[in-house]
């Protein structure tokens, strides 16, 4: 049995230690907001926060997470009201929506460190997150929207 | 009330009794109101459409017959109903229609239910508005009867029904019960455009909230008691089969429950994806490759080049192109190469299925419900209507989830059949499975030859296309093949818009054992490229500006000219650019929508291409939701650009060389240009926006690269070419 701290709760899971966090979240803990896209940390659909850092859960074995604070899209805010989630609604970002949990988690990690990111900062932080629908322009606008709200 | 209407009401009540839930009342309305009386005597066909439910809580549920895959149809179609119903946008919720072609067929296709050809809005525009207006009329009649006033004196606004003089008012919920007893009117008046409250305005997407907090349910998220996850070992070559396999190591893995052989490989069933995947990796399989494709894509291309030297099936012929070309003083010829392309939707293909007492039930993002019902029913030996499909959100599709062969749906079916339906199963493909499964945009080879007269007008045009048929061998081959030619191979070329007295378009459809499929904008992905870059070559041949040349050659195409002029005006066409930068234009009509794009690029000294900015002008008739239209244009440009810049699926000795996003890489945040979208105001019937943004971007970018470097790109992707300034 492994104990994980997910979205502020202690959760016990009975999985082999090399199981990627993504599949523990999805298949064992029922937290399906975090998505599978590539399994190789190439697309960012599986992005969660570990101690506040954006990481790809598809290549992070659960054995590496003892005592660490894991946050998924479900735990980002209590009522879907994180400033980025509000901005995502204002800018009407989502199309198919599949990559957006990961996009929001990457953007949240960016803004936590850099509240007023430049376009170059956004490029740097968000380049690991692929969107096949091509919502990049709206994602960029939503991140800037939050930065402006903070002023 | 006359007899016919009594029957109508009985049918209505009968249907609502079957499908209605609790206090929810249902309006099931005919497609065309003329049809209401016509079908009034037939229980089966009268209630042809079931699109609106109004609950006693005033909730209006709109049942959407098309797949929401990102294109916004869960917002666009409810907008039409809200408009004519005069509902408040906040009282509208959306539900996916079940698979039932009798009720939910695509009116553009006739019989089957499905989503494609960017026609969701076009085929639903009148149908949804009539449904909304009919429900409104029944609410008004109910109010008039209740208050003892004339219907003429009643207004409806934002979900409130009101009597003008007495100020009596009621919400939809208060009237729903009585309204359901009212006769279905056979003639309702639709609004004038000037009275639109929602159409033409950017209402908030209905799928917004659940797609920003992780609650939107996709196939991959399906969970049911006992459901097992299936991961399949697929053959290494198209057409290969399992000869034998050894699953002893697989079965030793904790969580693995079963291993079964199916027609497409060996399936490992486990409690969750990870053990299933580990189990799949531990399989030892011997494959029979005797009937497999072992051709590489280079060899396929060489075969096509040989074929292109011979005449193909004629799909358009006017005048005598051969003769006019032979006698011309100015001739231009070029050949174009296009690779296979994978759809690579963010959610790899997946499908959940259970065998049930009445047949089977599927949960997935289905683009083509009726054909999957047909294919699955055949595989299970049951009737089509015993196949129940729950259409979920699709994590992208781009055509891939509308496969007439229902490849991954059938794979799931064979797995659940192999375990005799003991438990429900969820088939998940890895990214590698998805990318190597075929059903690609076909590899294509084109030749184009044109002649110009002394005034610089096109006098002959010969376009030859070599590419696999998408429809041949599918269940809809007979329905859709026109005169033996596959329109999916040549659309955009056979209706080439430029004026020429002599036109020949011919087509070769070689049979190659690589599965192919439509890919967002289908043949337009290649026909627009060869035509629009070739037009620039012709303009250069007669020393004309590419815009001027297009204007001259497009007479009689007002809507194309219009988007051309709009894009030119908004882009600052003709303004000087610094060295290494270029501007290019392309335009194309697809799915009855007209799009022109101007791309601005920078090519660095070492040959790197960056698309900086795109101006996009679109005429899609009435712009139902301008924000979604803009998003679809931007998304289409991003999708088209991914392929143009570096997209290629290649085969070596039959084996697909790419596997994941490192070797088949879509554009990322830092590569996405800023896109300005300008919509042409229009009173024309609305046409699609899901696909038409794609075709012009690759030629616009390559025309811009020519301006920047003097290099003509005639084969894609752009990454194949050395553009360095050395």
Strand partners, B337: B445, B715
Measured torsion, CA atoms of residues B610, B612, B617, B620, in degrees rounded to the nearest 10: 60
Number of A/B CB contacts below 8 angstroms equals: 179
Question: Does residue B252 sit at the A interface (CB-CB below 8 Å)?
Answer: no
pLDDT in tens, B692-725: 999 999 999 999 999 999 999 999 999 999 999 8
**pLDDT for residue B8:** 39
CB contact A97 to B (< 8 Å): yes
pLDDT at B15: 38
Q: Is B565 exposed, middle or buried (0-12, 13-18, 19+ CB in 10 A)?
A: middle
What CATH code is assigned to B297-340+441-709? Answer: 3.30.365.10
Of A74-88, B27-41, B526-540, B615-629, which gets the smallest average pLDDT?
B27-41
pLDDT at B444: 98
Which residues contact residue B283 at a Cβ distance below 8 angstroms, ignoring those fewer than 6 apart?
B233, B245, B246, B247, B249, B250, B259, B266, B268
Report the C-alpha gap between B375 and B222 in whole angstroms: 22
Backbone angles phi, psi at A69, to 5 degrees: -90, 115
What's the mean pLDDT in B408-424? Answer: 98
DSSP for A26-79 reads IIIS--TTS--S-SSSSS-TTEEEETTEEEEGGG-BGGGGTT-EEE-GGGS-SS
pLDDT of B210 reads 98
- The stretch B612-630 carries a mean pLDDT of 98
For residue B202, report the phi and psi dihedrals to the nearest 5 degrees: -80, 80
Sequence-distant (6+) residues with CB within 8 A of B428 are A36, B220, B229, B230, B231, B273, B276, B348, B350
Kindly indicate whether the ipTM for this predicted assembly is greater than 0.90, answering yes or no.
yes
pLDDT greater than 80 at residue B17: no
For chain B, domain boundaries? 7-207, 219-290+349-428, 297-340+441-709
Query: Which pLDDT score is estimated for B479?
Result: 67
pLDDT given at position B305? 98
Q: Is A95 exposed, middle or buried (0-12, 13-18, 19+ CB in 10 A)?
A: buried
Angle, helices B524-541 vs B697-709, to 10°: value is 30
pLDDT digits (tens, 9 = 90+) for B290-340: 999 999 999 999 999 999 999 999 999 999 999 999 989 899 999 999 999
Per-residue pLDDT tens digits for B70-115: 999 999 999 999 999 999 999 999 999 999 999 899 999 989 999 9
Question: Is the Cβ pair A94, B272 closer than 8 Å?
Answer: no
How many CB atoms lie under 10 A from the CB of residue B381? 8
Residues of A in contact with B344 (CB under 8 A): 132
Sequence-separated (6 or more) residues with CB below 8 Å from residue A79: none
Has residue B37 got a pLDDT over 80?
no
Does B7-207 carry CATH code 3.30.365.10? Answer: yes
The per-residue pLDDT for range B444-500, each reduced to its tens digit, is: 999 999 999 999 999 999 999 999 999 998 988 886 666 778 999 999 999 999 999
pLDDT tens per residue, range B389-403:
999 999 999 999 999
What pLDDT score was predicted for residue A151? 65
pLDDT band for B183, please (50, 70, 90 cuts).
confident
CB-based contact, B398 to chain A, within 8 Å: yes
- Distance from C-alpha of A28 to C-alpha of B360, rounded to nearest angstrom: 27
Q: Is B587 helix (H, G, I), strand (E, B) or coil?
A: strand
Q: Are A97 and B635 an interchain contact pair (Cβ–Cβ within 8 Å)?
A: no
Mutual angle of helices B546-553 and B558-571, in 10-degree steps: 160
Q: Do B254 and A31 touch (CB under 8 A)?
A: no
Q: Which residue of A has its CA nearest to B345?
A: A132
Domain B219-290+349-428 sits in CATH 3.30.420.40: no
Q: What is the pLDDT of residue B184?
A: 86
Each residue's pLDDT tens digit, B42-51: 332 223 348 9
Domains recognised in chain A with CATH numbers: 2-76 (3.10.20.30), 83-149 (1.10.150.120)
Q: How confident is the model at residue B187 (pLDDT cuts 50, 70, 90)?
A: confident
Q: Which pair of structure tokens corresponds to residue B360?
A: 């089977």
A59 interfaces chain B, CB cutoff of 8 Å: no
Q: Does B690 touch chain A (CB under 8 A)?
A: no
Residue B9 is predicted with a pLDDT of 38
- Residue count (chain A): 151
Q: Which pLDDT value is given to residue B20?
A: 35
Do the Cβ atoms of B206 and B353 come closer than 8 Å?
Answer: no
Does residue B163 register a pLDDT over 80? yes
pLDDT of the residue at B276: 98
- For residue B506, the Cα-to-chain-centroid distance in whole angstroms is 26
What pLDDT score was predicted for residue B1? 30
**Nearest chain A alpha carbon to B228:** A27
- pTM score, two decimals? 0.94
Average pLDDT of the segment spanning B569-580 = 96
- Residue-wise pLDDT for A17-50, tens only, equals 999 999 999 999 999 999 999 999 999 999 999 9
Q: State pLDDT tens for residues B251-275.
A: 999 999 999 999 999 999 999 999 9
Identify the residue whose tokens are 């989502």.
A94
Q: With an 8 Å Cβ cutoff, is A117 touching chain B?
A: no
Find out whether B151 and B141 touch, Cβ atoms under 8 Å: yes
**From CA B637, how far away is CA B691, in angstroms rounded?**
10
Q: So what's the pLDDT on residue B476?
A: 87
Signed CA dihedral, A12, A18, A21, A22: sign only: negative
Q: B7-207 and B297-340+441-709: same fold? A: yes
Tell whether B431 is within 8 A of chain A (Cβ).
yes
**Nearest residue, CB atoms, B639 vs list A28, A88, A134:** A134
pLDDT score of B481: 64
Tokens of residue B145, six digits = 């009867």
- Rounded average pLDDT over B431-455: 97
pLDDT at B136: 94
The minimum CA-CA distance between A151 and chain B, rounded to whole Å, is 24
Stretch 603-642 of chain B: residues touching chain A, C-beta under 8 Å: 627, 631, 634-639, 642
pLDDT at residue B14 greater than cutoff 50? no
């Amino acid at each position: 049995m492994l104990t994980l701290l997910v979205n502020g709760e202690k959760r016990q899971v009975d999985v082999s230690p090399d199981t990627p966090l993504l599949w523990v979240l999805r298949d064992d803990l029922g937290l399906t907001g975090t998505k599978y896209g590539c399994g190789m940390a190439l697309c960012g659909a599986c992005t969660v926060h570990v101690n506040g850092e954006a990481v790809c859960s598809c290549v992070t074995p659960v054995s590496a997470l003892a005592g660490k604070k894991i946050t998924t899209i479900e735990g980002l805010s209590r009522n879907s009201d994180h400033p980025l989630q509000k901005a995502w609604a204002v800018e009407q970002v989502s199309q198919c929506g599949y990559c957006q949990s990961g996009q929001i988690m990457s953007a949240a990690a960016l803004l936590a460190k850099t509240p007023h990111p430049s376009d170059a900062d956004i490029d740097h932080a968000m380049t690991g997150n692929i969107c096949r629908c091509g919502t990049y322009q709206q994602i960029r606008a939503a991140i800037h929207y939050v930065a402006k709200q903070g002023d | 009330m006359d007899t016919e209407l009594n029957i109508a009401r009985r049918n209505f009540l009968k249907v609502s009794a079957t499908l209605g839930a609790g206090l929810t009342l249902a309006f099931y309305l005919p497609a065309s109101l003329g049809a209401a009386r016509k079908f009034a005597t037939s229980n089966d066909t009268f209630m042809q459409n079931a699109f609106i439910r109004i609950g006693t809580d005033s909730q209006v549920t709109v049942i959407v017959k098309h797949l929401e895959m990102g294109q916004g149809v869960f917002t666009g179609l409810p907008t039409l109903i809200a408009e004519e119903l005069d509902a408040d946008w906040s009282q509208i919720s959306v539900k996916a229609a079940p698979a039932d072609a009798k009720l939910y067929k695509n009116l553009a296709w006739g019989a089957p239910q499905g989503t494609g050809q960017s026609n969701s809005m076009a085929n639903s525009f009148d149908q949804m508005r009539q449904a909304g207006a009919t429900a409104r009329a029944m609410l008004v009649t109910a109010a008039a009867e209740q208050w003892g006033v004339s219907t003429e004196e009643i207004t409806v606004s934002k979900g409130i029904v009101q009597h003008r003089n007495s100020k009596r008012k009621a919400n939809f919920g208060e009237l729903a019960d009585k309204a359901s007893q009212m006769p279905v009117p056979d003639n309702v008046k639709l609004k004038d455009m000037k009275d639109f409250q929602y159409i033409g305005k950017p209402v908030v997407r209905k799928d917004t909230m659940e797609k920003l907090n992780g609650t939107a349910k996709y196939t991959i998220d399906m969970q049911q008691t006992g459901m097992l996850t299936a991961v399949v070992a697929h053959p290494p070559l198209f057409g290969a089969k399992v000869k034998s396999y050894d699953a002893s190591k697989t079965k030793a893995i904790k969580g693995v429950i079963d291993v079964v052989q199916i027609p497409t490989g060996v399936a490992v069933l486990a409690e969750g994806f990870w053990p299933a995947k580990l189990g799949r990796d531990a399989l030892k399989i011997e494959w029979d490759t005797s009937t497999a494709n072992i051709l590489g894509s280079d060899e396929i291309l060489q075969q096509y080049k040989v074929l292109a030297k011979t005449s193909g099936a004629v799909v358009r012929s006017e005048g005598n192109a051969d003769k006019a070309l032979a006698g011309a003083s100015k001739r231009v010829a070029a050949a174009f190469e296009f690779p296979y392309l994978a759809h690579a939707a963010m959610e790899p293909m997946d499908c959940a299925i259970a065998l049930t007492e009445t047949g089977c039930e599927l949960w997935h993002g289905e683009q083509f419900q009726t054909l999957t019902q047909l294919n699955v029913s055949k595989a299970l030996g049951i009737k089509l209507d015993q196949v129940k499909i729950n259409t979920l959100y699709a994590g992208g599709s781009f055509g891939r989830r509308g496969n007439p062969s229902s490849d991954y749906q059938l794979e799931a079916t064979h797995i659940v059949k192999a375990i005799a339906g003991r438990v429900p199963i969820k088939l998940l493909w890895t990214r590698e499975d998805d990318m190597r499964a075929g059903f690609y945009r076909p590899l294509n080879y084109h030749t184009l030859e044109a002649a110009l007269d002394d005034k610089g007008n096109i006098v002959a045009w010969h376009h030859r296309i070599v590419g696999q048929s998408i429809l041949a061998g599918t269940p809809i081959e007979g329905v859709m093949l026109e005169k033996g030619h596959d329109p999916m191979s040549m659309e955009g070329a056979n209706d080439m818009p430029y004026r020429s007295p002599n036109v020949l378009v011919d087509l070769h459809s070689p049979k190659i054992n690589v599965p192919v499929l439509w890919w967002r904008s289908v043949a337009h992905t290649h026909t627009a490229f060869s035509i629009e870059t070739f037009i620039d070559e012709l303009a250069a041949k007669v020393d004309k500006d590419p815009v001027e040349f297009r204007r001259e050659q497009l007479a009689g195409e007002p809507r194309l000219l219009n988007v051309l002029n709009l894009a030119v005006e908004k882009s600052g066409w003709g303004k000087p650019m610094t060295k290494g930068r270029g501007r290019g234009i392309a335009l194309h009509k697809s799915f009855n929508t007209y799009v022109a794009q101007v791309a601005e690029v920078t090519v660095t000294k070492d040959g790197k291409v960056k698309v900086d900015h795109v101006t996009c002008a679109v005429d899609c008739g009435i712009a139902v939701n301008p924000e979604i239209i803009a998003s679809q244009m931007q998304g289409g440009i991003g999708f088209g650009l991914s392929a143009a810049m570096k997209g290629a699926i290649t085969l070596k000795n039959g084996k697909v060389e790419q596997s994941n996003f490192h070797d088949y890489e879509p554009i990322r945040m830092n590569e996405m240009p800023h896109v300005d979208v300008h919509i042409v105001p229009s009173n024309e019937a609305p046409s699609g926006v899901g696909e038409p943004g794609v075709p012009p971007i690759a030629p616009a970018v390559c025309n811009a690269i020519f301006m920047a470097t003097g290099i003509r790109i005639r084969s894609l992707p752009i990454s194949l070419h050395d553009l360095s300034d050395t």
